[in-house]
Amino acid sequence: MSIRALPLLVFAFVLYNVIALSLGEEALGRQIFELRLLSGGIWKFTWGDLVLLVTLLLLFVEIVKSTFTTTSTLIDHALSMIVFMAVGAEFLIVPQAATSVFFLILVASLIDVIGGYTIGIRVARRDLNIGADQ
């Protein structure tokens, strides 16, 4: 099994658990830094914001990975489904996971599963159409 078959959103899942379960759920609201904007407003960046930023970046990479048609891609899709089920189960069972940040990780993992299969099917059809012309 290739390292490319590992679903990257598992890192967002682990990051959330490290922060929320070890430091407490309120740690997600703790400020990392703040910036004064030109408008005079102050933008505060929290640990929860960091988790969501990492999740979005990893989701982008997962969507790009799903455009390849290899055996490791099929394994990645199956493992992404397992990650989605684990995130969903934790959301329903673990009290510390009952946050909007964790819910958005759950939604990102759902998008990864649906997008991965959809893009994979589209790419496979395109590959079949190109092969038929030869």
Q: What is the pLDDT of residue 66?
A: 86
**Total tally of structural domains belonging to the chain:** 1
Overall average pLDDT of the 59-84 stretch = 89
28-34, long-range: CB within 8 Å, 24+ apart, which pairs? 28/99, 28/101
Domain that holds residue 84: 7-132
Q: Is residue 115 over pLDDT 90? A: yes
Strand partners, 120: none
Does residue 78 belong to any structural domain of this protein? yes
**Which residues neighbour 59 within 8 Å (Cβ) at sequence distance 6 or greater?**
9, 108, 111, 112
Asked whether residue 25 is domain-assigned, the answer is: yes
Mean pLDDT of the chain: 90
Question: Does a structural domain hold residue 122?
Answer: yes
Is residue 2 one of the residues assigned to a domain?
no
User: Does residue 121 lie in a domain region?
Assistant: yes
Task: Tell me if 33 is assigned to some domain.
Answer: yes
